[in-house]
């Protein structure tokens, strides 16, 4: 008799289950973290990236990612989020819409993610990742069109790489991060130049 193999719940499936299980109209960020059961840096980054899709709170979540990114760069053993920020609430309907936007990227990334090139996960690289994610999050906080979504996609890819210990996805994410930063800086420069003309 062959043993019954229970399929492992993917991160996107877990997000879907958490959203459907929300009782009431909203949920706190702290409750989402507890439900996700990922108090690692990768889990916190991923959750905050998904929530950052929501325009009303992207500045707050972006700042939270900056803080956690700096903590990772400084090699904190675990992420710490201030209680005042953890108590922030997110509406269930808004969270569902945010997840739909990022779900395709999340599903495609996690489908191909697996432990590989694990030797690159050294303290130095983790510090570099923390700095890169913090820099990406700064663009998320800005009220400038087209500078939010690409950084969120980058952070999602890097988060999956961290969670799955997939060095290849981390390297892909870093490459995409460099490209995204160039694009965002160009957008900001063009907007500033156009403002000076008026």
pLDDT at position 105: 73
Beta bridge partners of 89: 28
> What is the pTM (predicted TM-score) of this model?
0.81
Q: What are phi and psi of 55, to 5 degrees?
A: -60, -35
Q: Is 55 helix (H, G, I), strand (E, B) or coil?
A: coil
The whole-angstrom distance between residue 129's C-alpha and the CA centroid of its chain comes to 12
pLDDT at position 140: 92
Helix (H) and strand (E) counts in the chain: 9, 2
What value does the CA radius of gyration of the chain take, rounded to a whole number of Å? 17
What is the C-alpha separation between 49 and 70, in angstroms, rounded?
16
pLDDT at position 143: 81
What is the C-alpha separation between 136 and 149, in angstroms, rounded?
10
pLDDT at position 8: 62
Close Cβ partners of 95 (under 8 Å, ≥ 6 residues apart):
19, 22, 27, 50, 51, 54
Cα torsion for 86, 54, 63, 183, to the nearest 10°? Answer: 160
| Average confidence (pLDDT) per 10 residues, the chain, 198 residues | 55 76 78 68 85 82 91 88 77 78 75 86 91 94 83 91 89 94 90 77
pLDDT at position 37: 56
Q: What are phi and psi of 8, to 5 degrees?
A: -75, 130
């Amino acid at each position: 008799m062959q043993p019954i193999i229970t399929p492992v719940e993917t991160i996107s499936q877990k997000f879907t289950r958490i959203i459907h299980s929300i009782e009431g109209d909203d949920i706190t960020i702290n409750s989402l973290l507890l439900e996700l059961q990922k108090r690692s840096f990768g889990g916190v980054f991923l959750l905050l990236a998904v929530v950052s899709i929501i325009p009303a709170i992207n500045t707050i979540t972006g700042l939270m990612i900056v803080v956690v990114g700096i903590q990772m760069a400084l090699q904190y053993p675990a992420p710490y989020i201030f209680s005042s920020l953890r108590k922030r609430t997110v509406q269930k309907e808004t969270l569902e819409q945010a997840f739909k936007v990022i779900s395709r990227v999340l599903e495609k990334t996690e489908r191909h993610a697996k432990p590989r090139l694990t030797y690159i996960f050294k303290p130095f690289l983790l510090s570099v990742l923390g700095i890169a994610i913090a820099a990406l999050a700064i663009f998320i906080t800005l009220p400038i069109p087209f500078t939010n979504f690409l950084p969120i996609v980058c952070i999602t890819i890097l988060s999956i790489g961290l969670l799955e210990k997939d060095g290849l996805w981390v390297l892909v994410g870093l490459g995409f991060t460099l490209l995204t930063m160039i694009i965002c800086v160009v957008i900001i420069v063009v907007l500033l130049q156009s403002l000076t003309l008026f």
